[in-house]
Amino acid sequence: MEKSLNEYREQRCKDIEENLKEIRDNIAEAALKSGRTEKDVHLMAVTKTVEPYFINHAIANGIDLIGENRVQELLSKKPDLNLSGVDVHLIGHLQTNKVKQVVGEVSTIQSVDSIKVAKEISKCSVNAGINTDVLLEVNIGEEESKNGLEYNQVLEICHEMAELPGISVKGLMAIPPICENDVVLRQFFSNMYQLYVDIDNKKIHNICMQILSMGMSSDYEAAIMEGANLVRVGSSIFGARVY
C-alpha cells in the first residue's frame, strides 16, 4: 500500500516535469511565431483540485506563478505551499462577501467582473493598508453561462475604477467559448488584444495594461499567437482534474 502510493507520486511528478518541458517548448514556438520570445509569455500553473505536494513539485521545476479559483481552497492549501519567489493569483469568480478573506492573500485578482466587487476590493485594501492589483475579466463570447464584463462596458469601468484607492487595474483576462473552429477562436483572442491595446492607448490614470491573460490547456498557443502574455494552464501540467 505504502509503496504503491509512493510509486504513484513518483510517476505523477515525472509526468509534471515532462509536461512542463513540452508546454515551455510550445510556448517558445508560439511566442516566436508572434514576433516575441518565451520570456515575453508568463506561464501560470492553475492548481485547483491539485494537492500541495504536486504544486510544490511544479514550483521546484521553475513555476513562479500559480492560480487558484476558490478562496477557501486557496486559503486551506497555502500553508503547505513553498511560495518563496512565487506569485499567487485568484482566477475564479469572486463573491463580494469573500473579498475580505482574499485581499492580502494574493498579489493579483484576475477575475474582477463588476464595479461592485472592485469597490469592495478597494475598501478592503485601503483598510488593510495595501494595494491590490486586478485584471478585468471580459465575457468575450457574450455567454449567458459565464461571468465577466461585456466588451463594451470595459472602458467605462476602467474610468470608474481609476478613481478607486487601493486597487490598480493591470490588464484583462478572458475565457473564450469552446470553439470547434480555430479561426473563430483566434478572432475572440484577437478582439481581446484589440481592447487591451485600445485601453492602453487612452492613457487613463491608474490603469495600466501590462497583462493580457488568456489561453488554457487546449488553446494557449492560439492565445499567444494573438498577443497573450500570460497563459493559465492546469490539466496539461497536472493531468485531468479529479473533483
Ligand X SMILES: *Cc1c(COP(=O)(O)O)cnc(C)c1O
Which residues in this chain contact ligand X in the complex, by CB under 6 A?
46, 48, 69, 91-92, 175, 216-218, 232-236
Block residue for cell numbers 483566434: 186
Task: Pick between residue 131 and residue 218 the one whose CB is nearest to ligand X.
Answer: 218
Cell triple for residue 189?
483572442
Report strand pairing: 167-174 vs 207-213: parallel
Judged by beta carbon, residue 47 or residue 125, the one nearer ligand X is 47
Task: Label residue 4 exposed, middle or buried (CB < 10 Å: 0-12, 13-18, 19+).
Answer: exposed
Place of cell 478585468: 136
Closer by beta carbon to ligand X, 132 or else 236? 236
Q: Residue 214 and residue 193: Cα distance in Å, rounded?
A: 10
Instruction: Look at the chain and count its residues.
Output: 243
CB of 127 to ligand X, least distance (A): 27
Q: What is the DSSP string of 127-169?
A: HHT--EEEEEEE-TT--TTS-SB-GGGHHHHHHHHHT-TTEEE
Tell me which residue has its CB nearest to ligand X: 234
Report, in Å, the least distance between residue 185 CB and ligand X.
Answer: 14
164 or 169, CB closer to ligand X? 169
Supply the minimum distance, in Å, between the C-beta of residue 53 and ligand X.
18
Nearer Cβ to ligand X (229/236): 236
Minimum CB separation from ligand X for residue 89, in Å?
10
For residue 2, the minimal CB distance to ligand X (Å) is 30
